[in-house]
Structure 1
Amino acid sequence: MCDEADFSARQVGVMVVNFRCPHDTLACLGALSRLFTAPRRIVVVDNGSGDGSTEVLEKELAATSMQPRPELLALPDNLGFSGGNNAALRLLLQDSGCRAFWLLNSDAMPESFALDALCARLNALPRPGACGSLLVHTRGVGRVQCMSGGRLNRFFGTTRHLGGGLDTNAACAIPSATVEARLDYVCGASLLVSRAAVERVGLLDEVYFLYYEDVEWGIRMRRAGFDLGYAARSLVRHKEGGATGATSGPEGAQPVRSRFIDYLMLRNRMWLMRANYPLALPCVIASYLGVAARRCHRGQTDRLGLVVRAAWHGFVGRMGRPAAEEERSA
């Protein structure tokens, strides 16, 4: 039974970050318009796309009859996943009527009851921090990307999505509490976070730019005593890779990573462990030998320098948005 501390979908601020994929973003907004309960506000962030995305979105949003009418926040530069979402969070935090915030990828398509289910599960947690959806691959039928989020290996810094590859019906049969007992972080593709958690632990850490920022947020929330949840009835179809430029792989497979994405994931993994689990660094460093061996096995010997450079930058804390020359060399 709800008490006065509970909130509903009508008190949620939604944020969708666009980077050079306005058609995905508009499709996501179309799905939001079909939600069973409309949120309080929707903020679309154009993350310095510089490709005409802002103009496309301005035109479409001006003509929409959607309620609430999405607000467009155009940033001059690409601030990454964390910076783009933080810009929206700072705006929505000024609205005292927003009691929770839904981070939703631009390449995600929520089903009509997705937000209501997230709210119900987050309200049910003893100390509501964040709650995730049942993410299902867009390609193919009924294959799970993850159940809310995943596990962090505290020796090597690798992550593993919970329920990846399961049939959707099988995943729905697993109790939320069973998933939550194993949950270290909520995937940022669909993440509902309470205002109390944001005000207590702070915004996403922008030094990550892209990848692992949701993992780090989960670590902070857990350490602050907040609970992480899983709403099995919150079904969200996710293209995966559409918002980052990675090429979608076969159903149930990881997207094919560009050199730049490979660099960011390896760099950020090293920094996450150095900052949060420094005693594990010998194991983490040793694991990068395995990374190099796998790149050789895949015929990617041209990435060995990238692996070394990413590990070193993460180790010494060369973080944030990589310089233009680093993007080109990656």
Structure 2
Amino acid sequence: MKKISVITVNFNQPLVTEALLASIAKTNTYTNLEIIVVDNGSKTNEISRWKSSYPDVTYIRSEANLGFAGGNNLGVKAATGDYFFLVNNDTEFTEGLVQTLVDALDKNPEIGIISPKIKYFQFPDTLQYIGFTPMDYYTCRNKCLGQFEKDNGQYDHITAPTGFCHGAAMMLRKEAVEKAGPMTENFFLYYEEMDWNEHIKRAGYQAWVCTDALIYHKESVSVGQGSSLKEYFMNRNRILFIRRNAPLHKAIVFYAYFMLLVVPRNVLNYIKQKNYNFISMLFKAIWWNITQSKNSKKLGYPI
């Protein structure tokens, strides 16, 4: 039986993380499992309290907020499993989740990374993810398949390649991570898992989805809807993703598209919505990409 390392990152959300741990304890029947919680620079250190309720969990404390990639990389470094199951702390497990994903990886050695079906926790009959289309590098856009549809079983029993796995829940083969390397930490937040997907595929593996495995996701608990933090990193990292992954001729078309169409449209939307501070976030995101290398560790945003 393969050993599975479940890795999750907490940032100032102890109750959300506890709900995840409770859901694992309630639903999981996979016996060869280690659980790793990375506390990613939270204001208060809840580890001693968590240990009293969940003593078998491995806890790692970072005094600094290392972002989604950095926090998960800490967990991966400590993991001893054959497969790594990275899950957002704002997810909750269901019965058979781990075993179903393990079975898919065991049967298909070409899989380097796989995600389950994801449904919205607040709307448990509504799908969030059953796969992604490939990335259009001219616009840095792709489509999340199934999103907002009612789950009537129309996507059941699909285990197949997909454009990208979803960062909220992705199980990886240890060998794929060793070949592709860790997540790139200068993304900090957003697009880092898509960049990782690309590097795993370049290492000779495939990204798959398995819709017979299910996890629930409390969308945008960590950042919140419409925050300046989200606006900055979504724009900055959209450009950074293209810089790191797109062929030069496609990147040039993207830069023109972004500056001539996306920027004016976004500025108009910010004004209509009276989110005037988002305008400066957009231009800070652009300026970062002009002034920093694609491997720069400077975030450009005061965390």
Normalised to the residue count of structure 2, the TM-score between the two structures is: 0.89
Write the distance in 1 (CA, Å) between the matches of 2:106 and 2:90.
26
Alignment equivalent of 2:196, drawn from 191, 205, 217:
217
Tell whether 2:208 aligns with 1:229: yes
Tell me which residue corresponds to 1:32: 24
1:20 aligns with 2:20: no
Query: Compared with structure 1, are the counterparts of its residues 109 and 74 closer, same or farther at alpha carbon in structure 2 (3 Å cutoff)?
Result: same
Name the CA distance, whole Å, in 2 between partners of 1:263 and 1:87: 24
Q: Tell me: CA distance 1:327–1:257, structure 2 relative to 1, closer, same or farther (3 Å).
A: farther
Name 2:268's counterpart in structure 1: 293
Displacement of 1:161 in angstroms is 1.7
3-state DSSP of counterpart to 1:112: coil
What is the deviation of 1:49?
Answer: 0.4
**Contact 1:14/1:103 (<8 A) preserved:** yes
Q: Distance in 2 between matches of 1:168 and 1:57?
A: 37
Looking at structure 1, the residues matched to 97 and 116 of structure 2 have their Cα atoms a distance apart, in angstroms, of 7
**Cα offset, 1:11, TM superposition:** 0.9
Conservation of the 8 A alpha-carbon contact between 1:118 and 1:133:
yes
Residues 1:109 and 1:184: Cα distance change in structure 2 (over 3 Å) = same
Q: 2:219 aligns with which of 218, 240, 246?
A: 240
Match in the other structure for 1:187: 166
CA distance in 2, matches of 1:28, 1:150: 29
CA distance, structure 2, for counterparts of residue 271 and residue 164 of structure 1 = 25
Superimposed CA distance per residue, residues 50-101 of structure 1 (whole angstroms, 9 cap, x where no aligned partner): 2x2x2x3322323436xxx111101110000000000010111xx3xx1110
Tell me if structure 2 keeps the 8 A contact 1:184–1:219.
Answer: no
| SS of equivalent to 1:186 | coil
Write the letter of the residue equivalent to 1:80: G
Q: 2 CA distance for matches of 1:273 and 1:257?
A: 23
Deviations 1:237-263 (A, max 9, x none): 100111x221xxxxxxxxx22011110
**Separation in 2, partners of 1:321, 1:31:** 37
- Tell me the equivalent position of 1:64: 54
Partner of 2:228: 259
**Aligned counterparts of 1:153 and 1:28: Cα–Cα separation in 2:** 34
Report 1:268-283 matches (<5 A).
268-277=237-246, 278-279=248-249, 280=251, 281-283=255-257
With 135-144 and 155-164 compared, the bigger mean Cα shift is at: 155-164
The residue that corresponds to 1:207 in the other structure is 186
1:92-131 equivalences under 5 Å are 92=79, 95=80, 98-131=81-114
Q: Of residues 73, 79, 98 in structure 2, which corresponds to 1:86?
A: 73
Deviates more, 1:18-27 or 1:275-284: 275-284
1:158, distance to aligned residue in structure 2 (A): 2.7
Given residue 291 of structure 1, which amino acid in structure 2 is its aligned partner?
Answer: N
How has the CA–CA distance of structure 1 residues 40 and 176 changed in structure 2, closer, same or farther, with 3 Å as cutoff?
closer
Residue ranges of structure 1 left out of the alignment (5+ in a row): 1-7, 247-255
Taking structure 1 as reference, are residues 149 and 42 closer, same or farther at Cα in structure 2, changes over 3 Å only? farther
The answer to whether the Cα contact below 8 Å between 1:132 and 1:149 also exists between their aligned partners in 2 is: no
Q: CA deviation at 1:22?
A: 0.7
Assess, with a 3 A threshold, how the Cα gap between structure 1 residues 291 and 152 changes in structure 2: closer, same or farther: farther
Letter in 1 for 2:256: P
Deviations 1:197-247 (A, max 9, x none): 0010000000101110000011111222211111112111100111x221x
Instruction: Tell whether the 8 Å contact from 2:158 to 2:212 is kept in structure 1 after alignment.
Output: no
Q: How does 1:45-60 map to 2 (within 5 A)?
A: 45-50=38-43, 52=44, 54=45, 56-60=46-50
**1:250 maps to which residue?**
none
Alignment CA distance shift 1:165-1:320 (3 Å) = farther
Identity %: 23
> 1:59 is matched by which residue type in structure 2?
R
Q: Distance in 1 between matches of 2:268 and 2:91?
A: 34
Deviation at 1:38, TM superposition (A): 3.4
Contact kept, 8 Å, 2:140 with 2:242, in 1: the verdict is yes
Instruction: Mark the CA change 1:171 to 1:86 in structure 2 (over 3 Å): closer, same or farther.
Output: farther
Structure 2 residue corresponding to 1:144, chosen from 123, 127, 132: 127
> 2:182 corresponds to which letter in structure 1?
L
For the pair 1:316 / 2:282, whether they are aligned, the reply is no
